[in-house]
A and B are shown apart, each in its own frame.
Chain A
Amino acid sequence: MTSDDLTRLTIKDASRLLRLGSISAGDLVTAHMDRIERLDPKVKAYLRFTPELWEKQAEEADRRIREGNAPPLAGIPVAIKDVLCVRGVETTAGSQILRGFKPPYTATAVQRLFDAGAVMVGVTNCDEFAMGSSTENSGYFPTHNPWDLDRVPGGSSGGSAAAVASGQAIFSLGTDTGGSIRQPAALCGVVGMKPTYGRVSRYGLIAFASSLDQIGPFARSVDDAAVVLSLMSGLDPLDATSSERPGMEVLNNHGGGVRGMRLGLPREYHEVEGIEPRVKAAIDAALLVLQREGAEIVDVSLPHTDYGLAAYYIIAPAECSSNLARFDGVRYGLSAKDAPNITDEYMETRRKGFGTEVRRRVMLGTYALSSGYYDAYYLKAQKVRTLIKRDFDEAFKKCDAIVSATSPTVAFPIGSKTQDPLSMYLCDVLTLGGNLAGLPGISVPCGTSDGLPVGLQVLAPQWGENVALRVARAYEEASEMKALVADVV
């Protein structure tokens, strides 16, 4: 096995090699750094690297492995999306407004991975404040899709998806507010999972839309994603919305296969406007595989799907307009210090610090919450949200899980949607329902269309991560459609 081969491993395989003593955590991180040096100038998955962390963490992992009490992720290289705070590491949410900000605390989810022995390689690029579906809204530079460098990796967690897809980290963390894990996972050909709202603490996650945001993993196998998720999950006294449910329950019988399971195919998703024929064909093929494994495919309906996008683009901007009010230049980050008065300081700081899409959403959200418009927009959107939850409740009476494409399209060319925000928003049409309803969802690779990956999405009822994982894993095993590592040319 060459050094470069070490960058294609799953967590499971790497852990076995580490425990056997065939490789060290130091070897693993060095192999990754070599590959990053070669490839990341092209892919641009990372914003910055954390050598002081990986040196210490790899050394600690090697020590624990030698002593025979290695924690589950000992020595495994991980990449962290730029919206998750890590103590002493510059964390900017992909925005110029936070340039230079080093939080004095670590996000709970990240800390739990550190406690499990993971080795942090660096901070990955993303759309500014996680607002976008292509990583082109990054306040620094766009990330490129490892399978075709002229295309986007998806977003907003594009850097995290591209890092795993190009062998620059064995797994990574992203956040999903409307599809920001699942969609880039699909476009980059890796596994990506968004947990049930409340499963993973949001403490230390720089908020975009608090009622929708969840942290989740990108990985090269369903098992890897399941293990990482179980380690991050569980009650956190620092997050009042985190659940008491034990993290380990996500693993319950997740390898049990799909025989006898009913999988719902919502026609509103399968026939969504703009779905590419080859994407649809790849999903149809995947359904055949699942049927062959003993699942029954049933038709279900999510009648309010059409209104979901509109509701999402009111609720998410409304919350973001409030969440982003703290970036005022007074206490940290960019500050227009020379402004003549406080109002100008606010306006100048935010004009310079925020990109176009962030400003657009802050304005949309401010408008939607304004007196006189609140009932017509925010309140109405909340009612739609309730209807969408009911759609899912009804559908889950007829099936155990819902299957669909993750994204209606494969990765699109860089620059092709930046001038048309609405077409960009449509990237999330199949994923944001899961956020509005707070459901767990996973995207697994299910083939390619012209060499570009397609993702199969599995949505499960609230707290049913193990059900989604079970379907995804059964498909992965039967199809032999493993997540691949792109060679990047």
Chain B
Amino acid sequence: MSSDAWEVVIGMEVHAQPRTRSKMFCGCAIAPLNAAPNTYVCEVCLGLPGVLPVPNEAAVEAVLKTALALNCEIPRHTKFDRKNYMYPDLPKGYQISQYDLPMSVNGSIEVGERKVRIRRVHLEEDTGKLVHAGDKLHKAWESYVDLNRAGVPLMEIVSEPDIRSADEAREYAMELQAVLRAVGASDADMEKGQMRAEPNISIRRAGSEDLGVKTELKNINSFRALQRAIAFEVERQRQVLESGGTVVQETRGWSESEQRTFSQRSKELAEDYRYFPEPDIPPLELDRAWIEELRGALPELPSMRRARFVGHLSARDAALLAADRELADLYERAVERGAPAAAVAGWIINEVAPSGKLPSPENLAELVRLVSDGDITRDQGREVLIESVETGRTPAEIVAEHGYAQVSDESELRVLAEAVIDANPKAAADYRSGKKQAMQALMADLRKRAPQANPKLAMELLLKLLD
């Protein structure tokens, strides 16, 4: 039976950490990644007796901005609830979350050609973490609790099961990241734990409307891991079903080192969380004027920007640029200054983005023009860019100082090409006998003799002379 007969159904739960200075319900600062354990805590996030939670308005604002960017409805009434369970990383014995009246519902996001529906975006608090002495939990002889993360705000973005492949799930997560960053709601760095994706996966016979038994994946720390974990899990479920077995509803962990999923917790023993309204926080009646103000202040979203870019760029380049607000701004400003769009995009994606340092739009536009007009070579352009970013000087100044300027004079280049052919008789003979790759050796020699030679014109001359 071929795997074509199966349809993959994926819903995503994404947790993102709102960009706030303090925790969700107390004044503690958010701990940096390498902070010593239990140094960013107070009586509130430690769950000492008698203390009370006071909601962080900045976290609410981050959720609202995200919800508005995801086209969600913002209900008039929302409230916090307690999710009760006991675990040593949960100081109060309950997590403050939102159950039946989340802050926002019924949104959507475009992922490639597909519209993925967003069921809800709500706000909750993170738990602490356990550090086990020993290699594995079941062999640990001691466990320690670090509550630095306890009470850090988290927004949970829940999609409908509208995603149909591992690649699409990855695109969905990247798109969400781009939106969160564009509206300034979260830094959403997966490696730093500011964004976590938990896919729910099931497969079903193509054409079927029924949902299969799903598994939920955890421990996913990158977009790549997300794609691989889902691909692995889809294949595992297919093998189970095709060999006549049944998929067990459970939570499975992704092991990065083994590149496989493993069973963590069966949902048959699912805990009863005994949700009830958090009595320490009055229900929120969100100010409609505030919501409209936030809506009005939303920046252009990546999807809208991408749509604008696509007229001038390939879909891939448009998506890459639109996903990063700073790079997209740089692109637009450089193009406004008259540099050719596709070339600017290429320079940003291949040179600027990997370096992590941004040139000014003016300097980038000038550089791209110098290369496009053939005044300097691409290699020279790279050097000029680096120097320009470091010193802030304009590319024209740098080119003048180094005496970079491409030689495009045909008579000069002809002399050069003849010298190259004379010096490399074997390569010339090879080329003439049909070994086209011999041209590379000739061009390499030519570049060595005259780095500033216009490579396009020089190659044309070589070809002409060899024919």
Contacts and interface: CB of A to CB of B under 8 A. Distances in A.
Interface in A202-259: 202-207, 209-211, 237-241
A101 B49 contact: yes
B50 A207 contact: yes
A2 to B, nearest CB: 39
Interface residues of B, number: 29
Nearest to A324: B93
Interface of A is mostly: loop
A327 B91 CA distance: 9
A98 B49 CA distance: 9
A435 B29 CA distance: 37
B43 A103 contact: yes
Contact of A328 (B46, B86, B274): B86
A330 B48 CA distance: 11
A331 interface: yes
Given A103-B43, A240-B280, A369 B274 contact: yes
Nearest to A329: B88
A324 B276 CA distance: 15
B82 interface: yes
A225 B197 CA distance: 56
Given A210-B279, A346-B86, A331 B51 contact: no
Contacts of B279: 209-211, 241, 319
Which of B86, B94, B279 has the most CB atoms of chain A within a 10 A radius of its CB? Answer: B279
B40 to A, nearest CB: 16
Contacts of B49: 85, 91, 93, 98, 101, 103, 206-207, 326-327
B340 interface: no
Contacts of B274: 321-322, 366, 369-371, 374
Interface in B415-456: none
B91 A326 contact: yes
Contact of A371 (B48, B54, B86, B272): B272
Given A322-B84, A325-B86, A369-B276, A240 B52 contact: yes
B92 interface: yes
A369 B84 contact: yes
Given A240-B54, A318-B276, A346-B86, A326 B282 contact: no
Contacts of B55: 240
A206 B52 CA distance: 10
A210 B47 CA distance: 15
Given A203-B50, A325-B92, A326-B93, A370 B43 contact: no
Contacts of A17: none
Interface in B218-243: none
Contacts of A369: 84, 274-276
Contacts of B51: 105, 203-204, 238
Interface of B is mostly: loop
A104 interface: yes
Contacts of A238: 51-52, 54
B168 to A, nearest CB: 34
A89 B414 CA distance: 95
B48 A103 contact: yes
B37 to A, nearest CB: 13
Interface string A7-38: 00000000000000000000000000000000
Contacts of B93: 322, 324-326, 328
Contact of B46 (A98, A211, A324, A331): A331
A325 B54 contact: no
Contacts of A330: 88, 145
A93 B88 CA distance: 22
A342 interface: yes
A327 B50 CA distance: 12
A140 B92 CA distance: 25
Contacts of A84: 50
A240 B53 contact: yes
A107 interface: yes
A204 B50 contact: yes
A378 interface: yes
A357 to B, nearest CB: 18
A98 B143 CA distance: 23
B360 to A, nearest CB: 45
Contacts of B48: 103-105, 331-332
Contact of B280 (A210, A318, A378): A210
B271 to A, nearest CB: 10
B94 to A, nearest CB: 5
B281 interface: yes
Interface in A162-206: 202-206
B272 A325 contact: no
Nearest to B47: A326
Contacts of A322: 82, 84, 93-94, 274, 276
A106 to B, nearest CB: 10
Contacts of B94: 322, 325
Nearest to B272: A371
A342 B88 contact: yes
Contacts of B91: 326, 331
Contacts of B282: 240-241
Nearest to A343: B86
Contacts of B82: 322
Contacts of A209: 279
A322 B82 CA distance: 8
Interface string B15-31: 00000000000000000
B213 to A, nearest CB: 21
A83 B143 CA distance: 31
B431 to A, nearest CB: 76
Contacts of B86: 325, 328, 346
Which of B49, B50, B86, B143 has the most CB atoms of chain A within a 10 A radius of its CB? Answer: B49
B130 to A, nearest CB: 10
Interface string B280-305: 11100000000000000000000000
Contacts of A332: 48
The 8 closest A-B pairs by CB, nearest first: A325-B93, A369-B274, A211-B279, A210-B279, A206-B49, A206-B50, A204-B50, A326-B47
18 contacts: A91-B49, A98-B49, A101-B49, A104-B43, A107-B50, A207-B280, A240-B53, A240-B55, A241-B52, A241-B281, A322-B93, A325-B86, A325-B93, A328-B88, A331-B47, A332-B48, A370-B274, A378-B276
Interface of B: 43, 46-55, 82, 84, 86, 88, 91-94, 143, 145, 272, 274-276, 279-282
Given A103-B43, A326-B49, 10 more contacts: A98-B49, A105-B50, A107-B50, A209-B279, A241-B52, A325-B86, A326-B47, A326-B93, A328-B86, A370-B274
